[in-house]
Structures are given as structure tokens and as C-alpha cells.
Structure 1
């Protein structure tokens, strides 16, 4: 996720123009803190990959979309909206730069079983065990949620220095006439010896990550429209 820092470096009038475009593009998404009582902090996954309960950098990006603006077929079968949203995150234009960056570094015979191409990322149902771009692995899937482990190669299965859980959620709220989408991020250093230290991301890196989350959210939502 930190690759967003490589994409934001404009200056002068170009920066102002880019900032205006960004605000317009992401104005409907909002960033919030994850409550300490959230289930993810009490999950088996969190305890397994952060066994020392090291400090976390966390946030959630939320976007509400009218049901009338979503492809009807995605609302008919349970779980289809979450799958399509997840596919939109990884196959959408927002992830294009990071996908190409990781592809140049890590695509090869040892990672041939992973998802790399845009068409495959768009078509996947993201079942548990699915690996993508040598940086993410699906570790949990329900009708409304898909969680990937992130931060390093999925070929490294033990506790890692750079680690995290990234959850994509899609909840249909029929009475309100909307679908609510979420991108929940929890990052940490899973190794022993970091208990009681500062969170793994400094504030400015987390801020850039939050901007990136908004871009991923908007590009994913666009793939759900008729």
C-alpha cells in the first residue's frame, strides 16, 4: 500500500490541478477510525498474524452507493456484490500502477499460480487461498466480506515484519436503498519486540495511504455500475 508515496510528487500549478481533480473524484468517500471493539481485532486471523499484539496503523474508508445505480444481477445472489466489489478493487484503474510495479518486480515462474492480469483479477471469485500480485492472499470470505493478508509475499507464511489485514466489505441496506462499501486496513509489525512502540506507519504515510484507499474505493465502485 505504501506505493502511493511514489505516485504523489507534483508541484506548483500541477499540484493544485491534481488536488482539485482528486477531491472531486473521491468526495463521496470518508475515512474513519476502526473502533477498538471491531471484530477484526478479536479475530483468529489477527491473533495468528500479530501474536505479540503489536501496535497497529488502522482506518476504514466508507462509501454509500444507491442500489439503483448498481448492476441488478449483483444484488440478486448472496455474496455476489462483495465478490464484484473485491474484483473492482484489484482490477480497477486505481490499482493499475501498483499492479504493474509489483508485476515488474515479482512476476515469474515461482508466482505463476497467482493473479496478475487485469482480466483475471476482474473475473476471480476470490475464494480463500487466492493469491494476487505476490502481495495479497485471501484468508477469509463471507457473503459480505473478503479479507486479504497483505504487507509481504504470500509465500512467506510465518509471522512477518511487514504485515496486515485488508478487508473489503459490501452490505446491502434495502430499507435505506443503498449499498455500503468498506475498505478496512490494519497494519502492524508481527515480530516480537515491538510491543508498546509507536504504530508502524508515521502520520504522513498513513495520510497518503488514506488517499490511496479513496482512489481504490472510487475506481472499484465504478466497476459496479451498469
Structure 2
């Protein structure tokens, strides 16, 4: 999880007011609720072949439908796709993107998504690779699932492995859109005993704040206004 450590250090928030805003504007649940679809999915079983314990959480943000760009509600799939574009092309991911580009962008990885323009316009179909660290492994009208933890050039089981689910669904009863960033990190290289996931507690906490940042800045792309 070295890349996560470096990213979290460099993107740590300063200022209690900003922390307070993120805490009020987003909700984080950890671990994932019993019966969460990701933990019962074929994609999870495919990568976590040993069923090892995992670090799990989901960051959630609700926005009134009235604040969402109307054109994104016309065609199924557009809302989740635009939110995904906002996560990767938005302000929250800029530091990690720059770090990865400086370290891993080269002729071998030139076909991947690196620039803000590319990240803001990709369709994020399966096999799309993002900054040599994320690969889209599944896509539905409401969710885009990426594998993370190591370079996608390494398709084998890994000590650092995981799935990251970017989602957008409409709650018609509450007239809100629910945006989610769901994370599940695990060691897929071997069987690991115990019930503790791979992240120490303090890194888990920093990761959750980073998820809040990505969630908040990603949502800016789908709203009619900044606030």
C-alpha cells in the first residue's frame, strides 16, 4: 500500500473548517454492511481468491435531484459515467495523478489515461487503465468498478490488491441522487489468517478522508452549480 501512503500524506487536508465541511457533506460506513453486493459478486471472488480479510468502507454523498445537471438524468448510465469522470479528472485526484505521471508515464504506458482532458472524456469501459494504477474491470449503468493496488501491467495476484466502486443512483422517494465510493483492499497473493485487513488503523482513517475528498470534488462535475 506504499502508493496509498504517499498519496495520503501529500493530500492531507489542512484547516478544521474544511474537515468539518467534508464530515458534514459526506458519510463513511466501515466495514461494508452485511450482504453488500460487492462482497458477494463474481468480481470480488475472482480477485480475492483466498477470501482474505479486507479493509472495507464506503463514502456516500446525497445531492438533491434539482441540483443535478438535467441532461445527465435523461439517459441511463450518463450520471454514473460523468461522476466517474469527475472523480478522476477532478481536483481531488490531481496530486496523485501528477505523482504517478512523474514516476510511471513512459512509452510503455502511453496508451493509458494521464491528462485531465483524457480523464474528463473517457467512457471508462472495461480494460481502461488510469495512470498505471487503476483498471476498469466492470461497468454497469450505475457502477464503474476498478481494480487497484498495483500497476495493471501486473495481472497476477498481488500483496497489494483491491477494488474501488464508483456509483451513482437515483433515490426517487427522497428526490436525491446518491453518489458512492466503495473500497475493498486485500492481499490476493496468498492466504492470510485472521480478520484484520491489510491497512493499519491510522492509514485506514486517512484513506477514508481521501475518499471523502474524491467524492466531494467528483460530485462538482455533475452539479448545476458549485454549491
Where on the TM-score scale, by shorter chain, does this alignment land: which range? over 0.9
Partner of 1:46: 44
Partner of 2:27: 30
- Whole-Å separation in 2 of the counterparts to 1:49 and 1:193: 13
- Whole-Å separation in 1 of the counterparts to 2:23 and 2:69: 21
State the number of aligned residues.
220
**Under a length normalisation based on structure 1, what TM-score does the superposition of the two structures give?**
0.93
Partner of 2:221: 223
Residue 119 of structure 1 deviates from its aligned partner by 0.7
Runs of 4 or more off by more than 6 Å in structure 1? none
Partner of 2:87: 89
Residue 2 of structure 1 deviates from its aligned partner by 3.4
CA contact (8 A) 1:4 1:209 kept: no
Report whether the alignment pairs 1:2 with 2:5.
yes
Partner of 1:59: 57
Structure 2 gaps, min length 5: none
Residue 156 of structure 1 deviates from its aligned partner by 0.6
- Whole-Å separation in 2 of the counterparts to 1:5 and 1:167: 19
Report whether the alignment pairs 1:161 with 2:159.
yes
- Whole-Å separation in 1 of the counterparts to 2:53 and 2:77: 32
Structure 1 gaps, min length 5: none
CA contact (8 A) 1:140 1:147 kept: yes
- Whole-Å separation in 2 of the counterparts to 1:26 and 1:113: 37
Report whether the alignment pairs 1:172 with 2:170.
yes
Q: Which of 126, 131, 134 lines up with 2:132 in the alignment?
A: 134
